[in-house]
Structure 1
Amino acid sequence: MVLSKACTYGVLASLYVAKQSENKSYVSIRDMSNELRISFHFLTKILQKLTAEGILQSHKGPKGGILLAREARNITILDVVLAIDGDKVFTECVLGLPGCGSERPCPMHNHWITVREDLREMFSTKTLAATSDDIRELGLRLSIE
């Protein structure tokens, strides 16, 4: 897997918030944790990163939760990936081999360069709004249930 588990969950959580935020009310982290079946504590750490990077905003209290900090059409999947995993997805060896680079490429290096450039391009052009719409149109769900 190219993205870390935290990053995958971060994308799912961001899509969940984008879908729920259409009514402009805060989304309960507990409800999101239950529906997405992600550990509450793990999800909270992920959401803190997304909040620190300006993707989400949070509000404490009984009616608190999280909300997108900007409109879903102005947040790309790349924004979420960079907030959680940083640029390493697009710079490090796909096999995780130390020393892999243009001077000493691993067996996958030259193929991975093309794939990661395509991946970055795809993530930079897909917004949360467009991806959420695509999920809905395809009849897919974010949660297991």
Structure 2
Amino acid sequence: MLLSKSCIYGMRGALYLASSSNSKYISIKQISNDLDISPHFLTKIMQELTKAGLLESQKGPKGGVRLKKDGNEVALVEIVAAIDGMDLLTECALGLPGCGTAKPCPLHEQWADTRDEIRVMLEETTLTDLARKGKEGNLRITADGTFDWLPKDN
């Protein structure tokens, strides 16, 4: 797996927020229940996304998290950078320091091309793009496939 579980859950959580039809705060408990992610783990991930300026949070009974900006302004690469960092998109697949065109590793040529394709996809895909695709294709973001693309109202 190229992305950490934290990063994958961060994308799923942010996608959940982007699929909401309004900008109200949604509790982490509701998100964790709907996405079947540990609330403690999800809280830590959402804190990282808040620290990176992608989410904003509010405490209290009507609190929760929401996207800080519109989903069409949030590229997936921003979530990756906030949680996993950009090393995946810059470093050698074998972890060799100094790997590059001058002194490549055995995987350099294939990995450099693949890495660049992944980077472009992450830069060009927004949360709104994924939410729209999910709704139109009735695609899933939960293991059991029951997510209906609309967060439940509290």
Moved more, 50-59 or 102-111: 102-111
Conserved? CA contact 2:77–2:123, under 8 Å: yes
| TM-superposed deviation, 1:98 | 4.2
Deviations 1:49-103 (A, max 9, x none): 10011100000001100010001111111111111111111122334x3447125
Which residue does the alignment assign to 2:40?
41
After TM superposition, list the pairs within 5 Å mapping 1:1-145 onto structure 2. 1-20=1-20, 22-95=21-94, 97-99=95-97, 101-102=99-100, 104-143=103-142, 144=144, 145=146
Q: Which runs of 5 or more structure 1 residues have no equivalent in the other structure?
A: none
Conserved? CA contact 1:101–1:109, under 8 Å: yes
Distance 2:30 2:93 in 1: 35
Distance 1:12 1:44 in 2: 13
Deviations 1:96-137 (A, max 9, x none): x34471255433222111111111111111111111101111
Q: What percent of counterpart residues are identical?
A: 42
SS at match of 1:63: coil
**Aligned residues between the structures:** 143
Conserved? CA contact 1:100–1:109, under 8 Å: no
CA 1:8 to 1:100, structure 2 compared with 1: closer, same or farther past 3 Å? Answer: farther
Matched to 2:99, the amino acid is G
Matched to 1:125, the amino acid is E
Conserved? CA contact 2:50–2:57, under 8 Å: yes
Distance 2:39 2:98 in 1: 37
Distance 1:37 1:100 in 2: 41
SS at match of 2:65: strand
Q: Which runs of 5 or more structure 2 residues have no equivalent in the other structure?
A: 147-154
CA RMSD across the alignment: 1.5
Conserved? CA contact 1:100–1:106, under 8 Å: no
Matched to 2:86, the amino acid is D
Matched to 1:129, the amino acid is T
In terms of fraction of residues, the more helix-rich structure is: 1
